[in-house]
């Protein structure tokens, strides 16, 4: 009887470990990734960003808060080194800096549009829009994926938008420009309301 219980316990332990191992090592598909992203109707996060610009000896650092509200509102609220707010809602961009507010239409600024439209499409789970804007290369597993987005639009400075994450959480965003400048943003998710 003791041997039976022991073998049963070992079997279930191995079975459970195998299921967990499969879950962590399974390759992620684009459909899975956008489904995970679309589960979050509202995302609140903090960010730390370093920009590397040719001719500047040290990276330019900034930090602040990010908000995404499905389906199309994104807010980047920079707190350091200087307060600045950048909000995209629908087709309008609003910028606040040094007490002044300026509104623009996204279609008038293709560089900004391409970058943020890709992020919005991913966070909203809009695979059709994402694959319309970018050649998509997804590698990795459910718990550690890498997404490389290369724009189809040729007359843009954006070379690639690279994201790393786990399930439906983006952990880093790297923006590489054709002139060699780039930025790396680390993202830490805060409590969200789904």
* Alpha helices (runs of H) in the chain, residue ranges in sequence order: 2-25, 30-38, 110-124, 127-133
Summarised one tens digit per residue, pLDDT across range 5-53 is: 444 344 444 444 444 434 556 888 998 988 888 888 888 999 999 999 9
What is the rounded distance in angstroms from the CA atom of residue 75 to the CA atom of residue 89?
8
Instruction: Determine the length of the chain.
Output: 194
Look at residue 11 in the predicted model and tell me its pLDDT: 45
What is the rounded distance in angstroms from the CA atom of residue 193 to the CA atom of residue 88?
20
Summarised one tens digit per residue, pLDDT across range 158-178 is: 899 999 999 888 999 999 999
How confident is the prediction for the chain on average, in pLDDT?
A: 83
* Alpha helices (runs of H) in 125-192, residue ranges in sequence order: 127-133
Domain range summary for the chain, segments of one domain joined by +: 27-189
Architecture of domain 27-189: Clam (2.50)
Q: Reduced to 3 states, what is the DSSP secondary structure of residue 173?
A: strand
More confident residue, 69 or 13: 69
Q: Is the pTM of this model over 0.75?
A: yes
């Amino acid at each position: 009887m003791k041997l039976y219980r022991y073998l049963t316990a070992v079997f279930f332990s191995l079975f459970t470990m195998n299921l967990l191992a499969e879950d962590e090592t399974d390759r992620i598909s684009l459909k899975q990734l956008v489904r995970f992203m679309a589960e979050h109707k509202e995302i609140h996060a903090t960010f730390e960003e370093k920009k590397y610009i040719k001719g500047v000896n040290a990276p330019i650092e900034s930090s602040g808060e990010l908000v995404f509200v499905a389906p199309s509102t994104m807010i980047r609220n920079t707190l350091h080194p200087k307060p600045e707010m950048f909000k995209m809602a629908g087709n309008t961009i609003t910028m606040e800096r040094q007490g002044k507010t300026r509104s623009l239409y996204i279609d008038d600024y293709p560089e900004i549009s391409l970058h943020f439209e890709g992020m919005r499409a991913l966070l909203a789970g809009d695979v059709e829009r994402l694959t319309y804007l970018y050649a998509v290369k997804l590698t990795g597993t459910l718990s550690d994926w890498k997404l490389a987005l290369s724009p189809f639009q040729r007359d843009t400075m954006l070379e690639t938008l690279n994201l790393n994450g786990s399930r439906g959480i983006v952990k880093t965003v790297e923006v590489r420009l054709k002139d060699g400048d780039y930025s790396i943003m680390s993202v830490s998710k805060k409590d969200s309301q789904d």
